[in-house]
Amino acid sequence: MKFLITGGAGFIGSAVIRHILKNTDNSVVNVDCLTYAGNLASLSDIDQDARYVFELVNICDLAELERVFTEHKPDAVMHLAAESHVDRSITGPAAFIQTNIVGTFTLLEVARAYWQQLPDTAKQVFRFHHISTDEVYGDLEGGDDLFIETMPYQPSSPYSASKASSDHLVRAWTRTYGFPAIVTNCSNNYGPYHFPEKLIPLMILNALEGKPLPVYGDGMQIRDWLYVEDHARALYKVVTEGVVGETYNIGGHNEKANIEVVNTICSLLEELVPHKPQGVALYADLITKVADRPGHDVRYAIDASKIEHELGWTPQETFESGMRKTVEWYLANKQWWSRVLDGSYAGERLGSL
Ligand code: NAD
């Protein structure tokens, strides 16, 4: 099969591409416009593979998308391209509306026209897999409630509202046009190649430099955490075995308060990097409470039993094993993150095209 993957230079998209090329015979067309979050260095171990092609294309560009579909003739689309950072959506929501809503709409229209003219057998094989977040459900107050696939949407941030809109568009295309789409909603991912604005890499890299570890409010906001390679395996299972028109929640059974996550990072660093930056007695001393994020959701928790029972997927990493792998990866891959931190990755990624 040939997969057209949007957002393949991002954190999860690059993990999906590595997973497909390393574990299957399939090929991949990576469609990405390389925003600040796109980094081709995340694909350096597979980018010489003859089954991999990169297309520098914005998903809002209808003509360019039509060219890519006509040229590469994909059997399936995995749509991950998005603006993905909640804090950036609060200070600048326009890009989120543009990419997450208008971009998804544009991609849907190009993919639908392409699918409609396929011969019957190829038409039946074709899938459009839309990758989304559990943040569309809003928050749970506490207790034992979990997000299930049939829950009404109640997004809180411009990011989650734009993702909710895109989910609705995808489902409407299935209902109205019979377009063969599947939606997945996943909890917070963590792991290698994560852009250092996100909680876990930010804390690891700040701690290594002896900088403050900023924690919003009381740090008691609860998130479910999933190791990114477990997510990539789940997505491949859904796009190849999932049922058209269905939604699958994906999660890690790892509900943790933000402060607990930061304390775990500090303990791992105490063990793995006992020689600390000057003036730091304990990494945990760097934890600094800052004003809470507006509209901050209290708790997210996923019920992933549908994908477990129907498709036989379960996460392989526990929070402890996944966090250890993640901290070890950042310690071993300074070359990757130092170029992100000093901004030189932006020049390199375009120079390499
Ligand atoms: P990311 O920000 O790391 O990567 C996004 C990628 O999309 C980047 O490579 C960027 O260059 C590209 N992109 C952005 N706008 C584009 C456009 N207009 N045209 C083409 N490419 C564009 O994001 P991520 O964390 O890898 O998330 C991928 C998807 O998974 C997103 O749809 C996100 O909503 C969803 N998701 C993320 C998480 C998480 O914890 N990170 C959890 C659940 C769902």
> 250 CB contacts (<8 Å, ≥6 apart)?
184, 185, 186, 187, 226, 231, 234, 235, 302, 304, 307, 313
From residue 300, alpha-carbon distances to 138, 186, 212 in Å are 8, 11, 26
Q: What is the pLDDT of residue 351?
A: 47
Distance separating the N- and C-terminal Cα atoms of the chain: 25
CA distance 200 to 185: 20
Q: What is the ipTM of this complex?
A: 0.99
Asked about 159 being catalytic, the answer comes back as yes
Residue 2, beta-bridge partner list: 27
Asked about 134 being catalytic, the answer comes back as yes
Ligand 1 proximity of 162 Cβ (cutoff 6 Å): no
From residue 304, alpha-carbon distances to 184, 307, 319 in Å are 11, 6, 16
The secondary structure of residue 98, as a DSSP letter, is I
CA distance 280 to 289: 17
Which among 159, 193, 283, 330 is annotated as catalytic? 159
The secondary structure of residue 147, as a DSSP letter, is B
CA distance 259 to 172: 39
Residue 186, beta-bridge partner list: 133, 250
CA distance 4 to 75: 8
Give 121 Cα–ligand 1 centroid separation in angstroms. 31
Ligand 1 proximity of 40 Cβ (cutoff 6 Å): no
Q: Are 277 and 200 in contact (CB under 8 A)?
A: no
Residue with tokens 């209808």: 62
Q: What is the pLDDT of residue 139?
A: 87
Provide CATH code, domain 2-193+225-254+299-319: 3.40.50.720
Is residue 222 classed as helix, strand or coil in its secondary structure? Answer: strand
Q: What are phi and psi of 42, to 5 degrees?
A: -70, -10
Site to substitute for ligand 1 among 5, 14, 35, 102, most atoms within 8 A of C-beta: 35
Q: pLDDT tens, 29-53?
A: 999 999 999 999 999 999 999 999 9
CA distance 198 to 262: 12
Ligand 1 proximity of 164 Cβ (cutoff 6 Å): no
Q: What is the pLDDT of residue 297?
A: 82
Q: What is the pLDDT of residue 347?
A: 56
Identity of the residue numbered 208 = L
Asked about 193 being catalytic, the answer comes back as no
Residues of the chain with pLDDT under 70: 142, 347-353
Q: Write down how long the chain is.
A: 353
Which among 32, 55, 83, 134 is annotated as catalytic? 134
Q: pLDDT tens, 319-351?
A: 999 999 999 999 999 999 999 999 998 855 554
Q: Which atom of ligand 1 is found nearest the CA of 58? A: 19
* Structural tokens at position 151: 């829950």
| Ranges of each domain in the chain | 2-193+225-254+299-319
The secondary structure of residue 216, as a DSSP letter, is E
Q: What is the pLDDT of residue 353?
A: 47
Which pTM was predicted? 0.96
Q: What is the pLDDT of residue 352?
A: 47
